[in-house]
Amino acid sequence: MNCRSCKSSKVVAITAKCDDLCTTTDLSTGKFQEGCVPTDVGIGGGDYLKICICFQCGQLQGKFPLSDEKYKTVFGKVDEKAVTKLFQDAISKQK
């Protein structure tokens, strides 16, 4: 398989089992979630993170862009418990 962007053959599939320890953060809003890997967004789903990346140009391979509606549905939620835990973890690391 060649990269869909630069056509390089340096494309690697990566699978990582993270169970329910996946975190996602929308970097423009800071919305943070913790749990399973989101499904139907091109990064695997459930217990597994699955991505294909080009190590020539950095392009993530897959069906993109994600629609605005889907993005909002999947990454626009705020998990208050997860945010609290994130801050507690950050504070405890500073001590």
Q: Give the interface with Zn ion as residue ranges (CB under 5 A).
A: 3, 5-6, 8, 54, 56-57, 59
Judged by beta carbon, residue 25 or residue 59, the one nearer Zn ion is 59
Q: How far is the CB of 63 from Zn ion (least distance, A)?
A: 16
Determine the distance from the C-alpha atom of residue 54 to the mean position of all C-alpha atoms in its chain, rounded to a whole number: 16
Judged by beta carbon, residue 10 or residue 17, the one nearer Zn ion is 10
Judged by beta carbon, residue 7 or residue 17, the one nearer Zn ion is 7
Q: How far is the CB of 72 from Zn ion (least distance, A)?
A: 28
Q: How far is the CB of 2 from Zn ion (least distance, A)?
A: 8
